[in-house]
Structure formats: C-alpha cells, structure tokens
C-alpha cells in the first residue's frame, strides 16, 4: 500500500498537476465608451511547480481569447443570367464573434491534432458547424470563407510566437481587440503544452460591455423603443429647425 502510494507520488509530477498556471490580467473588464477605438488586454502569468523543471520537450504556452458564440449564415454568390446573386447558404451553428490564438511557437508543432480537437484551440476548431445541406458540394469552403472574412476584419487572429516565455516560468502576451466588438463575456484560456500534449489549462472570463451614455442609449432603444424613436425624431426636427434659424440669423 505504501509502496503503491510512493509509486503514485513518483508518477504525479509527470501528470497534469506538475505545472500549473497562475494568471493575471491587465484589467477586469473592457468598457465600450463613446470614443471606444478598440483596446488591448495584457495576459500575463507564471507557471507554478512543486518540482524542478521536467526534462524532455520544451514548455509551450497557448493563450486564446474568445468572444460570445453566435450562429452565422455564410452566403455564396454565383452568376445567374449575367448578374451576381446569392445562391447557396450555410448556417454555421456557432462561431465566436471574436477569436484570437497567441502562442509561443507554430501551433501545429506545439499542439497535437487530438489535443486541438479536444480543447478546440485552433480557429477552425473553435467554429462549430454540425451539418450542411446535401446539395452543397463543398461545405468546407464556406467555413474557410467565414474565417477569411473575419480575419480581414481583425476579428480572428492567430499570432504564432507572440507569447513571451521567460525561463520556462513567466509568460506574457497582448491581444488587440478591434473596435467592432460584440458585447458579452470573453473567455480567456491558457494552455501549457509539452511535446504537443496539454499539461495544464486555465480559464477565466472578462466582460466586454457598453458603459455610460452608450449603455443608456442601447437600453432605451431596446426597452422603450417608442420613446427612443420619438426622441430620434425630435432630435431630427430640432436640428433641422436650428440649422434653418442659424442660417437666417447669419444672413440677417
């Protein structure tokens, strides 16, 4: 019994608990104000160990930041009677509105495919598409298009080598959030890998939300739409009148 326990203790450092993530964030929320131009989150932390640094493959760090998942319709244009029309469409069941992967090295070298499948780390894995209608020949092209378009808008980013790892212990990375963010809880995940295997992971969330005037207008528009609509009209009429009066005074 004691021998078995001793064996277990010997094995333990090789298991999942050998190296643990201790995380810090530069902020506890992202506030969308009237002059919001995008923001950046500094993700930093340390690797805690009970034992000395294990031998073998080097420690690698992967940090992902994911916005709320939403269904997306991807439409494809085709030429019909000489004009370009939307023809085929696929509904992607759930795709993050924002997704960034930053790593210490090339993702395909520091992460095995099976681990990627399990933890949904790379961008294509973060998108969930259950089934496409049978008449669509190449459904994968639609997912690729989704990634291509969102990459172009800086909504999907993969920054290989952007995580700084010092003395196998301290790591830090910065993720730039673009201005066109969807509100919600953003999930930050940190994975430690050795030889392509995930040895520890840690998950936390950071809320991204509108504040102040932005919050007030958004709430009013959704909860009191008639009042909001009338307010918009009053503003329009008022501005129209003010400009007219100002010009008359100016000419007089």
Among 154, 169, 182, 204, which residue sits at the site for other proteins (rule: CB under 8 A)?
182
The least CB distance from residue 14 to other proteins, in Å, is 44
- Cα–Cα nearest to 104, from 166, 62, 138, 132: 62
Q: Determine if 217 is a binding residue for other proteins (CB under 8 A).
A: yes
Q: Which two tokens stand for residue 83?
A: 């004009």
The least CB distance from residue 233 to other proteins, in Å, is 5
Q: Determine if 179 is a binding residue for other proteins (CB under 8 A).
A: yes
The number of C-alpha atoms within 13 Å of 176 and in the hemisphere containing its C-beta is 12
Q: Determine if 84 is a binding residue for other proteins (CB under 8 A).
A: yes
User: Residues touching other proteins: how many (CB under 8 A)?
Assistant: 63
Among 15, 52, 82, 131, which residue sits at the site for other proteins (rule: CB under 8 A)?
82
How many Cβ atoms are within 10 Å of 123's Cβ, its own excluded? 22
How many Cβ atoms are within 10 Å of 169's Cβ, its own excluded? 15
Residue 167 or 222 with smaller CB distance to other proteins: 222
Q: From residue 54, give the alpha-carbon distance in Å to each of 47, 170, 193.
A: 12, 16, 12
Q: Determine if 232 is a binding residue for other proteins (CB under 8 A).
A: yes
Among 181, 188, 192, 206, which residue sits at the site for other proteins (rule: CB under 8 A)?
181
The least CB distance from residue 61 to other proteins, in Å, is 31
Q: Hey, CA dihedral for 110, 113, 116, 118, is it positive or negative?
A: negative
Instruction: Please choose, out of 1-9, 19-27, 68-76, 101-109, the segment that lies near other proteins by the rule CB under 8 A.
Output: 68-76
Instruction: Please choose, out of 21-29, 103-111, 119-127, 212-220, the segment that lies near other proteins by the rule CB under 8 A.
Output: 212-220
Q: Hey, CA dihedral for 208, 129, 201, 106, is it positive or negative?
A: negative
How many Cβ atoms are within 10 Å of 124's Cβ, its own excluded? 13
Q: Determine if 35 is a binding residue for other proteins (CB under 8 A).
A: yes
- Asked whether the beta carbons of 3 and 9 are under 8 A apart, the reply is no
Q: Determine if 134 is a binding residue for other proteins (CB under 8 A).
A: no
Which single residue is written with the structure tokens 């700084």?
Answer: 164
Site for other proteins in 137-166 (CB under 8 A): 142, 145-146, 148-150
Cβ-based neighbours of 47, under 8 Å, separated by 6 or more: 19, 20, 21, 22, 59, 168, 169, 170, 171, 192
- Asked whether the beta carbons of 18 and 193 are under 8 A apart, the reply is no
Binding site for other proteins (CB under 8 A): 32-38, 70-79, 82-86, 91-93, 142, 145-146, 148-150, 179-183, 210, 213-215, 217-218, 221-222, 225-226, 228-233, 235-237, 239-244, 247-248
């Amino acid at each position: 019994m004691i021998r078995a326990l001793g064996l277990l203790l010997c094995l333990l450092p090789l298991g999942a608990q050998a190296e643990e993530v201790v995380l810090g964030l530069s902020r506890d929320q992202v506030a969308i104000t009237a002059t919001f131009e995008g923001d950046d989150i500094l993700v930093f932390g340390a690797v805690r160990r009970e034992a000395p640094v294990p031998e073998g493959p080097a420690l690698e760090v992967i940090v992902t930041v994911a916005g709320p998942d939403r269904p997306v319709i991807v439409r494809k244009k085709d030429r019909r009677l000489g004009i370009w029309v939307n023809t085929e469409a696929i509904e992607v069941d759930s795709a993050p509105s924002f997704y960034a992967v930053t790593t210490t090295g090339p993702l395909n070298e520091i992460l095995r495919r099976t681990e990627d499948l399990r933890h949904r780390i790379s961008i294509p894995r973060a998108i969930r598409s259950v089934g496409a209608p049978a008449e669509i020949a190449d459904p994968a092209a639609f997912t690729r298009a989704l990634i291509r378009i969102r990459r172009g808008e800086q909504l999907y980013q993969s920054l290989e080598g952007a995580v700084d790892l010092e003395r196998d212990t301290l790591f830090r990375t910065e993720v730039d959030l673009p201005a066109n963010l969807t509100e919600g809880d953003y999930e930050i995940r940190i994975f430690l890998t050795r030889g392509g295997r995930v040895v520890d992971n840690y998950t936390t969330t950071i809320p991204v939300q509108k504040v102040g005037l932005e919050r007030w207008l958004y709430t009013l528009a959704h909860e009191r739409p008639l009042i909001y609509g009338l307010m918009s009209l009053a503003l329009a009429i008022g501005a129209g009148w003010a400009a007219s009066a100002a010009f008359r005074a100016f000419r007089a």
